[in-house]
Amino acid sequence: MRKLLKGVHQFQTNYFSTHREMFEQLALGQHPRILFITCCDSRIDPNLITQTQPGELFIIRNVGNIIPPYGATTGAEGAAIEYAIEVLGIKDIIVCGHSHCGAMKGLLETSSLSEQIPLVYDWLKYAEATRRIIKENYQGYQGEELLNAAIEENVLTQVENLRTYPSVHAKLYRGQLNLYGWVYKIETGGVFVYSTERCHLKAEHDGDSPNQPDEQQLTPFPENGKRKDLNTYHLTPLNSPVCDH
């Protein structure tokens, strides 16, 4: 706790004083352009990995970057989605999973959770589609490979859950909203995006001259796409020059 108190003091005396104008502007209102949905995991810092400032990302965080389908609960996620779209006018939503996700590990071992952490067990029911997809389609997978499959499939599950919200559905219908799926690799800093360009995950460290970020266009998921339509999407390293098509 002492470290945090020291940190607050340093923030106020250093960062705040050199960014005073930005904070004064922020006090007048927020105009974030992105809704960023990610896990509670302490190893993820959305502003750090996207190098964004306060006020730029509207963030939903919970265990497993899960969005319960519309009507399944009156939880905070639905309220935040509605506010982001209807009040803040956000047009881009990113669901960002991450490597070594404890929630996804739990999802693969749900039977051991019900007694020890029953609230987590209940919460993970909103990722039941992910669990079933893994069970039925990844029989040969084990260990980290299985976990990574769950992490990646869960991003797609939650993008589909997002589509069940009337405010999301209506904006998608009008072409006024883009949905994206990302996976962040803690150990390498790599950010992988679901894209129509096919790149192998190994491309992350190949080559030493990454594309300029503004050269890379992100492909949003199709407006009315269902999971079967996402077969053309592949996890692609963001800002990597190597694509083996």
**Distance in angstroms (rounded) separating the CA atoms of residues 139 and 125:** 21
- Segment 82 to 121, residues that bind Zn ion, using CB under 5 A: 101, 103
The C-alpha R_g of the chain, in whole angstroms, comes to 19
Stretch that binds Zn ion, among 9-17, 31-39, 45-53, 123-131 (CB under 5 A): 31-39
Alpha helices, DSSP H only, in 117-198? 118-123, 128-137, 143-163, 166-173
41 or 153, CB closer to Zn ion?
41
Least distance (Å) between residue 38 CB and Zn ion: 8
Alpha carbon 106 to its chain centroid, in Å, reads 18
41 or 204, CB closer to Zn ion?
41
Q: Can you tell me which of 41, 152, 153, 204 binds Zn ion, judged by CB under 5 A?
A: 41
40 or 170, CB closer to Zn ion?
40
Element (H, E) at 8: helix 2-10
User: In degrees, to the nearest 5, what angle opens at C-alpha 190 toward C-alphas 188 and 194?
Assistant: 150
Q: How many residues contact Zn ion, by CB under 5 A?
A: 4
27 or 119, CB closer to Zn ion?
119
Least distance (Å) between residue 103 CB and Zn ion: 5
42 or 217, CB closer to Zn ion?
42
Give Cα separations from 50 to 75, 115, 181 (angstroms): 27, 38, 14
Least distance (Å) between residue 191 CB and Zn ion: 15
Least distance (Å) between residue 67 CB and Zn ion: 14
Least distance (Å) between residue 152 CB and Zn ion: 13
Residues 6 or more apart whose CB falls under 8 angstroms from that of 164 comprise 69, 70, 71
**Distance in angstroms (rounded) separating the CA atoms of residues 180 and 1:** 37
Q: Does 39 bind Zn ion (CB under 5 A)?
A: yes
- List of residues contacting Zn ion (CB under 5 A): 39, 41, 101, 103
